[in-house]
Structure 1
């Protein structure tokens, strides 16, 4: 499910990617090496009135620490020490004259009072050189409000608050923390550049509504590395306008898999290009690797240059899926005239077990067949004995190599 300049503007995508890789191997990012100025006040939220008792509203204290840090220069570190800190909406807005690190060792609790939020819970906007690191938790307390989610009945439903949102952020790292039981999406990355999410844990029950792990939209050079996601919706969803996306060494499950899309729901959506998912494990998910677009797509866009390599499937219901006739709640006009062009998609070294016989599903439209789809060294077997492993393929053009004959449908 998906909704919706800096110093790197003139760099090539390859050079920008190199910056993120370099940052991943060093201490949490702050690109500005200047000595910090003295902020206008404390940056430890407990010195500003926050109490880690799980009951006292700490919103004002955190916002005051942000104000102090944002107005300073150099590198500033906001401290959230051990304890349970209850908050409402945190609008962490820039631009700032400093580089900001939030050191999270305690637990932030999102209040169950929906009147405390305008839109999202923790929203970082228009900030460069930003990081959150530590061993703490961002707990959305979703069980308090999931009953208010009506999206299963109405696709144009009122959206509950997302937990952590990055909007128009350049050069960011989210490392080491846990996101727990979001009210809606756990993390939403929109119009961002050069973001690293590393060694993060995202957890919610498999039946929790619309609790996507990480959603990415209209963003460039986003890396998700060594991260463990188990939720009630997509572990990772990659939306329109996303380019140079890397998912490495991560685990997904339960959930709906690692998805591109949905694509084509709205007008004027942008292409999705250069996506690589490598050395990942998907366990007990309803889907594995999925590309989905609306049958009556409103936008003409491309989804191209994807590589899925070195993926282990463990009891996944539908391991490999391209679905260009996606139509939740039967709201689509079933014309079959898609405007989403899918091409150059490689599924390579995919192994493991499927919970249904249908290991490969390539459902492309008559008017716009999928082009350049490759199945290379795919060995996924149905884990029960009463049916044979199979592939269901329509209008997919490409090739199979090193694939058992039951799956070699192209």
Structure 2
């Protein structure tokens, strides 16, 4: 009996061990990249996606949130009423419409999940203002409104999704700068996941706590005539953030926010951005890439016929250095772009968020086949074109055609050197107009350690003495006018005058007595008293004689 029990225990242990080994082997090996959904055929291709979706379809049923208890005062929590109205729309077996009428409705975090039972288009008509709760502690996820698992969904109207994110911007966590530990992003206004054949048209998104519109793991997605706004200093408020999605089209949209107007990260493919105005913001970006393990490539991006106004960056591709994770971006086309006072107009940065003298390991991200065609406008930087590629994976197939930048209005009054461009670990191809002038590949040189060098003491060198040369008067005597011949004087007259002067007797020069012939001062002082005595005696004698004559005259008169 004891042996049987032991055998049973050993058997169970062996089974558990084999099961654990099988699970380990199944999970071992290379980590697979995250797969994108198979979108299937684009059912909206060739259709007018901007048509008025307010028109009710025959037999369409309306689910108004106010019929389920929503209060349009902007203060009463209407979350439950919205959830009930959405549940009725999802469970309906006929054509249905989720309606938010004019008014101000306050709601918290919500999941607008599918799929819907009706096998056809579902419309969300937003004509009022939907306000997010301002208490950030109420949000357990990275979204405010999460829309998931839908096929053929339309979000339309003239209403607004207001994230009321002002207070949350003070405590936002910058996940780009955080390299260790988990990072919790502030909730996005609209978060789409695993949706296909979706149209977002006409609505507005303002002041989100995080991103405005986040699209991931989706396909055949269109955003058109949407207005996205947030203050320039609002942190991490990306306009449209795309990842692991295929065939996303953004058109006729205005985006002004505090971060990237449009950001395309890993797994984004066949993306079209057309007729978009961006500013303020950080421009239109691909990346950052190379931060996470198993990243999928960004491929087939077309940005065209768009405008950037006073943005920090214009067209940018950014990748992380110092990470062990590879990534890639290829077949990227930027064409017909105008810029106004943009700082970094064209930038490829594979040292993202690394100091100027970056000492981290080179990026493992591969960037190739990137075209910049007909890019023009004004800039606020002396280096509007700046490419800093990886030393390990230099950029390939970078083409510049017809690039024309001038200094913007804010710099016209300043004295600034000529525009220039910078290229590191890349050999671009330049065609057509190139302002600034084309740059040359300047590979990064490693810094050599500085070694102190002890120089020998200087040896004194004798200075040769100058020879005694005859002095030359600093100023030559000027010629007198009398010595010059007068006009009309002939050579014969000059000769006669010279001969006469030579025959004339020379005037004797007065002799100046030398110092030896002049009486000394001492001798003159010795002779002076004798002369004074003689003069005094003569004066006395003359005075006595005059006195005698006066006495004689007086006697005669008496």
Structure 2 length normalisation: TM-score? 0.67
1:81 alignment partner, one of 76, 101, 107? 101
Q: Report the CA distance between 1:115 and its aligned residue.
A: 2.8
Alignment partner, residue 310 of structure 1: 336
1:114 alignment partner, one of 131, 136, 142? 136
The separation in 1 between residues aligned to 2:296 and 2:323, in whole angstroms, is 13
The separation in 2 between residues aligned to 1:48 and 1:228, in whole angstroms, is 34
The separation in 1 between residues aligned to 2:355 and 2:178, in whole angstroms, is 8
Alpha-carbon distance change, 113 to 250 in structure 1, aligned in 2, over 3 angstroms: same
- From the CA coordinates, give the structure whose radius of gyration is larger: 2
Q: Which runs of 5+ in 2 are unaligned?
A: 1-33, 441-558
The separation in 2 between residues aligned to 1:299 and 1:275, in whole angstroms, is 22
Q: What pairs up with 1:212-291 in 2 under 5 angstroms?
A: 212-291=238-317
- Of structures 1 and 2, the one scoring higher in RCO (CA 8 A, sep 6+) is 1
Q: Report the CA distance between 1:401 and its aligned residue.
A: 1.0
Q: Report the CA distance between 1:37 and its aligned residue.
A: 7.4
Alignment partner, residue 97 of structure 1: 117
User: 8 Å contact 2:36–2:218 — kept in the other structure?
Assistant: no
Q: Report the CA distance between 1:117 and its aligned residue.
A: 1.8
2:405 alignment partner, one of 373, 380, 384? 380
**SS of residue paired to 2:405:** strand
User: 8 Å contact 1:29–1:172 — kept in the other structure?
Assistant: no
Alignment partner, residue 167 of structure 2: 144
The separation in 1 between residues aligned to 2:36 and 2:396, in whole angstroms, is 36
Q: Which runs of 5+ in 1 are unaligned?
A: none
Alpha-carbon distance change, 70 to 238 in structure 1, aligned in 2, over 3 angstroms: same
The separation in 1 between residues aligned to 2:160 and 2:435, in whole angstroms, is 47
**SS of residue paired to 2:89:** helix
The separation in 1 between residues aligned to 2:256 and 2:131, in whole angstroms, is 19
**SS of residue paired to 1:62:** helix
The separation in 2 between residues aligned to 1:61 and 1:145, in whole angstroms, is 26
Deviating beyond 4 angstroms after TM superposition, the runs of 4 or more aligned structure 1 residues are: 4-11, 25-30, 33-38, 152-156
Q: What pairs up with 1:160-175 in 2 under 5 angstroms?
A: 160-175=186-201
TM-align CA RMSD: 2.6
Mapped pair 1:408 → 2:431: no
**SS of residue paired to 1:115:** helix
The separation in 1 between residues aligned to 2:234 and 2:435, in whole angstroms, is 38
Alignment partner, residue 49 of structure 1: 69
More helix as a share of residues: 2
User: 8 Å contact 1:282–1:312 — kept in the other structure?
Assistant: yes
The separation in 2 between residues aligned to 1:205 and 1:7, in whole angstroms, is 34
Q: Report the CA distance between 1:328 and its aligned residue.
A: 6.1
Alignment partner, residue 85 of structure 2: 65
The separation in 2 between residues aligned to 1:131 and 1:158, in whole angstroms, is 30
What do residues 272-313 of structure 1 show as CA deviations (whole Å, max 9, x unaligned)? 000000100000100000000101244322200011111001
Mapped pair 1:371 → 2:396: yes
User: 8 Å contact 2:36–2:245 — kept in the other structure?
Assistant: no
User: 8 Å contact 2:364–2:390 — kept in the other structure?
Assistant: no
**SS of residue paired to 1:127:** strand
Q: What pairs up with 1:329-368 in 2 under 5 angstroms?
A: 334-336=360-362, 338-368=363-393
User: 8 Å contact 2:37–2:219 — kept in the other structure?
Assistant: no
Q: Once structures 1 and 2 are overlaid, which stretch shifts more, 21-30 or 43-52?
A: 21-30
**SS of residue paired to 1:126:** strand
